[in-house]
A and B are shown apart, each in its own frame.
Chain A
Amino acid sequence: MPITGVCQQWQGLISVDTRAGYSTNTILNPFSGEWDRSSSSGYGFISPMGQLYWSREKYSADITGGGVYQPFFDGRDELMGGFSLLNFRRRFGSSWSAGMETGSSYFSRPFVRGMAWFQPVIAWSPTLFSQIRVRAGSTYRDYESLQEGVSGSDRFDTYGIEFEVWPTFKWQLRAGMYGNMDQLADNQSFMINAEHRFTDALQVSARLNADRHSYQLIQDIEGSGSPGPPIGGPGSGGGTDTEMLDETDRLVKAGLSGRYRMNQSFALTMNMDHIGLYSSASEQTLHDYQLSAGVRYTVQPKLGGRGKAEPEWKQNGQQILSLKINYSGEGQLYIIGDFNDWDNPGMPLTRQSSNRYAAQLSLPTGAYEYKILLIDGPEEKWIDFSNDTYTVSDGFGGTNGLVFIE
Chain B
Amino acid sequence: MNMKWNIHYIRYASNLLALSLVALFPVMGMAQDQSLNDLIKIAQDAGIEQSRLDELQSRAASRGIDDQQLIQIIEPALALAKQKLPTEMIFQKAMEGMAKGISSQQIQPVLQNLRLGMESAVLIVGPWVERGDVSQMMRQSGEQISGRAFRNELLKAGSKAMSQNVTPEALQQLLEAIGEEATLARSKPSGILTAVSIFSDLPSTAEHPLASGAVVARALKSGFGAGDLQKLPGAMNSAQRRSQLPSASVIEGLSGQMQGGTPASKILQNLSNGNIGGGPPGNVPGLDNKPDRGRPDNR
A residues neighboring B (CB under 8 Å): 1-4, 6-7, 9, 11, 13, 15, 17, 30-31, 33, 47, 49, 51, 53, 55, 57-58, 60-62, 64, 66, 68, 83, 85, 87, 89, 91, 94, 97, 101, 103, 105, 115, 117, 119, 123, 125, 127-131, 133, 139, 156, 158, 160, 164, 166, 168-169, 172, 174, 178, 187, 189, 200, 211, 231-232, 257, 269, 271, 315, 318-319, 336, 338, 341-344, 364-367, 369, 371, 382, 388, 390, 392-396, 398, 400, 402-406
Contacts and interface: CB of A to CB of B under 8 A. Distances in A.
Nearest to A406: B190
Interface in B93-119: 93, 95-100, 102, 106-107, 110, 113-114
Given A94-B249, A128-B276, A158-B299, A367 B92 contact: no
A236 B224 CA distance: 63
B35 interface: no
A403 B12 CA distance: 34
B246 interface: yes
Name the prevailing secondary structure of the B interface residues: helix
Give the interface size class of chain B: 35 or more
Contact of B145 (A4, A342, A364): A364
B164 interface: yes
Given A125-B280, A367-B197, A31 B227 contact: no
Contact of B205 (A2, A60, A119, A231): A2
Nearest to B153: A366
Interface of B: 55, 91-93, 95-100, 102, 106-107, 110, 113-114, 143-145, 149, 153, 156-157, 160, 163-164, 188-191, 193-194, 197, 200-203, 205-206, 225-227, 229-231, 233-234, 237, 241-242, 244-246, 248-249, 252-253, 256-257, 260-263, 265-266, 269, 276-282, 285-287, 289-299
Given A33-B298, A125-B282, A396 B291 contact: no
B282 A130 contact: no
A347 to B, nearest CB: 13
A396 B291 CA distance: 48
Nearest to B278: A169
Given A2-B201, A94-B246, A390-B230, A396 B92 contact: no
Nearest to A158: B297
Contacts of A392: 160, 201
Contacts of A60: 242, 244, 285
Name, among A55, A61, A125, A398, the residue most crowded by chain B CB atoms within 10 Å (CB to CB): A125
Contacts of B282: 89, 97, 123, 125, 131, 133
A406 B143 contact: yes
Most-contacted residue by chain A among B99, B107, B229, B299 (CB, 10 A) = B299
A169 B260 CA distance: 6
Contact of A390 (B96, B233, B244): B233
Contacts of B281: 131, 133, 164, 174
B263 A200 contact: yes
A371 B278 CA distance: 34
B96 A129 contact: no
Contacts of B201: 2-3, 390, 392
Given A47-B291, A343-B95, A128 B277 contact: yes
B280 A406 contact: no
19 contacts: A6-B237, A33-B294, A33-B298, A94-B245, A103-B296, A128-B245, A131-B280, A166-B280, A231-B299, A269-B292, A343-B95, A365-B149, A367-B153, A367-B156, A369-B96, A395-B93, A396-B102, A404-B227, A406-B143
B243 to A, nearest CB: 8
B230 A402 contact: yes
A69 to B, nearest CB: 12
B285 A53 contact: yes
Contact of B237 (A4, A83, A123): A4
Contacts of B55: 341
A129 B291 contact: no
Contacts of B193: 365-367, 404
**Most chain A CB inside 10 Å of its own CB: which residue of B100, B245, B257:** B100
